[in-house]
Amino acid sequence: MEERANGIEVQGLVREYKKGPRAVDGIDITVAPGEIYGFLGPNGAGKSTTVHVLTTLLPPTAGTARVGGYDVVKEGPKVRAMIGVALQEAALDPLLTGRDHLRLQATLQGVRKDRRKVQADELLIRVGLEDAGDRKVSGYSGGMKRRLDLALALVHMPRILFLDEPTTGLDPQSRTALWEEVARLRREEGVTVFLTTQYLEEADVLADRVGIIDQGKLVAEGTPAELKAEIGRPSVHAIPRDEKDREKIAEFLALFGERLDTTRDVAVRLREGLGLTDIVRAVDANGVDIVDLELKAPSLDDVFLAKTGRTLEGATEEAEVEPAQKRGR
């Protein structure tokens, strides 16, 4: 096969569902070969729809997308040969073993017969399932299923990997193991990774660049450091000793910056030129009774808040409540 750069180029991509919302609303993305691109957004933002379009499972309504140099509409089979995909729901057959899955996937992907067994063994070891490979998937934990799903995506040694919320529902240990494997794939094999997530930490730790999507639109894009630098100023978070002093402390802190909408504590984004020491001195001088005072560097959640007016957590909750309300009607 002709050697192609394993990047992704998306221009003006739109995907509209019949009688439904515009799930993806004109996004432009460029992912460089060998880059890990984090696609961050709450539930229902359009992340999975974008992945479905880029992996040829859904045709776009408008716009163009090239994956590995191939057009996703006109050259679907060539795109599929280049990519490995782990979709949001790890669709596995509970009656097959991990090894059965790998053998099936390898055959369907055209891996040479003499390589299939070796490949399956290597991948089972790589994802830490060598002891569970001959067990039926019905007995696997959520983390084991995710790891098998990743192994299946890698069976034909793809140059581009799409991971749709790969760590949702995983315990911290499994999550870290998966992050390490994804980082290794990029580092040692030059694989390009398009990763969707609703976890800020995941995007922060893993991604070279992050795109933030909300209601189908790309609202921000850059390296995590660049995005945080756009916000610039840190925030100060205080926890009152007595809950009834909350409003009083909020008014006091408002002297140092604009108030942030938080539920756990009282917080302000500091004005330019102010630091924690300024607040500590003022707290001391005014006898304000607080149990904890913390200075937080800007996070990707702050970026999301600045771009959309909502926290990522809040947006996710809204997205979860909205369909439930619609169902209730």
What is the contact surface with other proteins in residues (CB under 8 A)?
Answer: 55-59, 72-74, 76-77, 79-81, 83, 85, 87, 89, 91-93, 95-96, 100, 103-105, 107-110, 113, 136, 152
Paired tokens of 205: 């730790």
The distance of closest approach from Cβ of residue 73 to other proteins in the complex, given in angstroms and rounded to an integer, is: 5
The distance of closest approach from Cβ of residue 22 to other proteins in the complex, given in angstroms and rounded to an integer, is: 19
Cβ distance to other proteins smaller for residue 49 or 55 = 55
Q: How does strand 192-197 pair with strand 36-40?
A: parallel
Q: State the Cα–Cα distance between residues 151 and 154, nearest whole angstrom.
A: 5
Q: State the Cα–Cα distance between residues 3 and 213, nearest whole angstrom.
A: 31
Cβ distance to other proteins smaller for residue 162 or 304 = 162
Paired tokens of 167: 């760590």
Residue whose tokens read 């009282």:
266
The distance of closest approach from Cβ of residue 171 to other proteins in the complex, given in angstroms and rounded to an integer, is: 23
Do residues 228 and 299 lie in contact, with contact meaning Cβ atoms separated by under 8 Å?
Answer: yes
Name every residue whose Cβ is closer than 8 Å to that of residue 146 and which is 6 or more positions away in sequence: 86, 90, 166, 167, 170, 174, 178
Cβ distance to other proteins smaller for residue 74 or 117 = 74
Paired tokens of 226: 């660049």
Name every residue whose Cβ is closer than 8 Å to that of residue 222 and which is 6 or more positions away in sequence: 209, 210, 230
Cβ distance to other proteins smaller for residue 104 or 276 = 104
The distance of closest approach from Cβ of residue 215 to other proteins in the complex, given in angstroms and rounded to an integer, is: 25
The distance of closest approach from Cβ of residue 124 to other proteins in the complex, given in angstroms and rounded to an integer, is: 18
Quick count: other Cβ atoms within 10 Å of Cβ 284? 9
The distance of closest approach from Cβ of residue 150 to other proteins in the complex, given in angstroms and rounded to an integer, is: 13
Q: State the Cα–Cα distance between residues 298 and 109, nearest whole angstrom.
A: 44
